[in-house]
Amino acid sequence: MKHFLILFGLFLLVTSCSKDEPTQEPEVPARRTVIVYMAGDNNLSSYLQSDLNEMINGRKQVGRDESLLVFVDRSSATAKPFIAKVTGKDKQPLDTLYKYPTEFYSSDPEHFAEVLSRCMQLSPATEDYGLVLWGHASGWIIETDSIDKRYYIPRRAYGVDNGMWLNIPSMRKALQSLNMKWKFIFSDCCNMQNIETAYELKDCTEYLIAAPSEITGSGAPYNTVVPALFIHNDEQMYQTICDNYYTQIDIKGGHLPISVIKTDKLNDLATATKAVLPAVVENLPHDDFGYGHIYYFCLVNGNSWGYKYEDQYKTLYDMNDIIRWATANDNAAYTAWKDAFDQTVIYKRMSTFWHANYLQYDFDNKYFYDFTVTEEAFGGVSMFFPLEKYNNGTTHYNEDIKKMGWYYAVGWSELEW
């Protein structure tokens, strides 16, 4: 009887405990793993938590057979970088998978590659991977490289961390070290849809989704963008990402221009661009292209956001707009080039006004854009065109372009630029 009572008591204990414990759902292999690289150790850190909250809400609309991971580097002396899984669950919406023991530059290419590799090990996908770049990006501005300054070369950059940047050629090498190709790279940062960056990353991803312009600090509406990241029909996926981003209205009532590049067509576009480049060079002005042409970034006395046309230092012109203008007397040449362009830039949403090109300091309520965006002119991708004025002052854009693969692919050097 004593043994029976003990066994019966143990049975009651086991059964009662099992009722109190929640049923653990078995892990489901991810079809697609999307990694959001949040380089937030800068003045965007204040937006980081709100975007994480949006991702949590967006994840609730995605099936269990998908995986959303975030790498988070906050602007904090005490908070160390970490990797977490966005679960979509109410009780534990953010499940920390790994905490880094020390702080490091998230803009360092070696750390960038290590984080991505670790994420893929923590949540391997059976089909493919997507990458979201969250943070700052600059135009053709000389930035301080996060790599040892002994081989510092200023180039277009992403992800400023305490003044240090990850330059695009360094990003390319880091991504290539992973020996895989992303389904897409979606850049939620300024000015990333430029042809030079696209050509540099063409072997790293199938699609590049980004804005040619500056974007607002709040960035993408992740509550609607996250579900789109896991659509497995490619066309529907990139169109929905762009549409949901474009639909968001900024505080000035504008929409973000955004486009998609199919990277396996970039070599054809380079060949087509090389064919029309002599016409472009023949029409290159000394200072800038003047009123009326679409551009996405400018400097004023070393600072972005211009307020007087005379002081502007424009750098990122719309690729289609300038080439269309330069080949105005050769319709056949432009038509052939435009065909290659349309096969490369497979989707875009045009905006006639966006908040980020509104003057930050609002002197005299001026705008730094002095052009009208039209369907015929808008291409949704910027391109750098060397001008004599870039040889002056503290900028070295005409030299910087020589560090990019696009410069050689389209034959700038053969035309003595």
For 313-335, what is each residue's pLDDT tens digit?
778 899 999 999 999 999 999 99
Residue 39's pLDDT band, with cuts at 50, 70 and 90, is confident
Query: In this model, does residue 4 exceed pLDDT 80?
Result: no
pLDDT of residue 298: 74
> Which amino acid belongs to residue 171?
M
C-alpha span between 243 and 386 (Å, rounded): 33
81: nearest Cα among 162, 143, 180, 145: 162
pLDDT of residue 180: 97
> Which amino acid belongs to residue 156?
R
Cβ contacts of residue 177 below 8 Å, gap of 6+?
113
Residue 40's pLDDT band, with cuts at 50, 70 and 90, is confident
Query: In this model, does residue 194 exceed pLDDT 50?
Result: yes
169: nearest Cα among 150, 136, 193, 147: 147
C-alpha span between 350 and 374 (Å, rounded): 8
C-alpha span between 230 and 46 (Å, rounded): 27
Copy the structure tokens of residue 246.
Answer: 């474009």
Residue 152's pLDDT band, with cuts at 50, 70 and 90, is very low
Residue 25's pLDDT band, with cuts at 50, 70 and 90, is low
Query: In this model, does residue 115 exceed pLDDT 60?
Result: yes
pLDDT of residue 259: 99
pLDDT of residue 107: 87
Copy the structure tokens of residue 117.
Answer: 């590799």
Query: In this model, does residue 300 exceed pLDDT 80?
Result: no
C-alpha span between 114 and 94 (Å, rounded): 21
Q: Classify 57 as helix, strand or coil.
A: helix
Which DSSP state fits 47?
A: H
Query: In this model, does residue 111 exceed pLDDT 90?
Result: yes
C-alpha span between 353 and 369 (Å, rounded): 9
319: nearest Cα among 300, 299, 342, 301: 342
Residues pairing with 157 in the sheet: 167
Residue 396's pLDDT band, with cuts at 50, 70 and 90, is confident
N-terminal to C-terminal alpha carbon distance within the chain = 98
C-alpha span between 334 and 340 (Å, rounded): 10
pTM of the model: 0.88
Residue 369's pLDDT band, with cuts at 50, 70 and 90, is low
pLDDT of residue 42: 67
C-alpha span between 347 and 105 (Å, rounded): 34
265: nearest Cα among 379, 342, 376, 180: 342
Residues pairing with 92 in the sheet: none
pLDDT of residue 154: 34
Structural contact between residues 127 and 31, judged by C-beta atoms closer than 8 angstroms: yes
pLDDT of residue 310: 43
Q: Look at the block and give the residue holding tokens 């996908």.
A: 125
Q: What is the pLDDT of residues 273-284, one digit of tens each?
A: 999 999 999 999
What are the boundaries of each domain within the chain? 30-263, 267-414
The CATH T-level fold of domain 30-263 is: Rossmann fold (3.40.50)
Phi and psi of 131, rounded to 5°? Answer: -125, 130
pLDDT of residue 351: 92
Query: In this model, does residue 68 exceed pLDDT 80?
Result: yes
